[in-house]
Amino acid sequence: IAALSGAGVAVEVVAQTGSTNADLLGRAASLPAPVLLVAEHQTAGRGRAGRSWLSSSENSLTFSLVWKFDGGPQALLGLPLAVGVMLGDALDRLGVQVRLKWPNDVLKDGDKLAGILIETQSAPGGGVWAVIGIGLNLIMPDEVEAQLGRSAAGAPWLARMERDVLMAALLDALAAGLRQFAQHGFGAFCVRWNLRHAWQGETVVILDNGAVLHEGRAAGVDDTGRLLLDTEQGRITVMAGDVSLRVK
């Protein structure tokens, strides 16, 4: 990947690393934020709560972006969902129709096409760094699906693009979106998230460590990114924390 000029973002490309998120988290304090780190091959990609993200150099795009925000952790409410909207808009422009699964997945035809993992660190002089990690499947080989034990999606159309052109299109969308998020928060993304909601009106369950915590009809998200769920006891809101959502 050579031709990334970067939307005001310093760009670094490495041939191989364990996790681009781990690398940037370790260096956030000494970085001239914002920085984009692209790994041609990522060997120990991370998901939420110690889960892993599988990728291979020919078949996926893996990168992280570190961005500094003013304010405390509250300033980042809804950021994973907003990043989903930014990716969704960029992928649509590239000809790939996607939907969003609460809180942090990008789906194509109901299967996971991309994952988003945001890790944060407070900055000593005030503010907070968000390390935004994204793994995007280009091709999803059968053997990787078998390893995952569930179906997943690829976007072969994107696999035919030059990687730097694809990366530049995503970076432009993210840089513009993150500036908008810094100014207006998730409120500026809420309507677009709901328009892309994969399971709107469907009966879903919210799982905590595999146990069913809530069941109800998914009614979108509010302007802080909480899921609205219509249950037998009425409407409740669910915070992302470490719960997972499954369609019933």
Which residues would be at the binding site for ligand ATP (CB under 6 A)?
A: 47-48, 51, 53-55, 104-105, 112, 115, 135, 137, 148, 152, 244
| Closest CB to ligand ATP among residues 17, 55 | 55
Of 10 and 148, nearer to ligand ATP (C-beta) is 148
Smallest separation (angstroms) from ligand ATP to the CB of 241? 11
For tokens 């009614």, name the residue.
Answer: 219
Helix (H, G, I), strand (E, B) or coil at 204: strand
**Nearest alpha-carbon partner for 112 in 53, 169, 162, 159:** 53
- At its nearest, how many Å lie between ligand ATP and the CB of residue 67? 19
Least distance from C-beta 90 to ligand ATP, angstroms?
A: 18
CB of 137 to ligand ATP, least distance (A): 5
Identify which of residues 64 and 244 has a Cβ nearer to ligand ATP in the complex.
244
- Name the residue type at position 159: A
**Cα–Cα distance measured from residue 132 to residue 229, given in angstroms and rounded to the nearest whole number:** 27
Distance of closest approach, residue 33 Cβ to ligand ATP, in angstroms? 24
> Which CB sits closer to ligand ATP, 127 or 220?
220
Question: Closest residue to ligand ATP, Cβ-based?
Answer: 47
Q: Which residues contact 191 (CB under 8 A, 6 or more apart)?
A: none
Q: Tell me the C-alpha distance between 85 and 74, whole Å.
A: 19
Backbone angles phi, psi at 30, to 5 degrees: -105, 10
CB of 53 to ligand ATP, least distance (A): 4
Q: Closest Cα partner for 140 from 103, 170, 108?
A: 108
**H-helix or E-strand containing 101?**
strand 99-101
- Residue placing its CB nearer to ligand ATP in the complex, 70 or 242: 242
Consecutive H or E run containing 220: strand 211-221
Spatial separation of the C-alpha atoms in residues 109 and 178, rounded to whole Å: 27
Of 148 and 165, which CB lies nearer to ligand ATP in the complex structure? Answer: 148
Joined tokens for residue 88: 């969704």
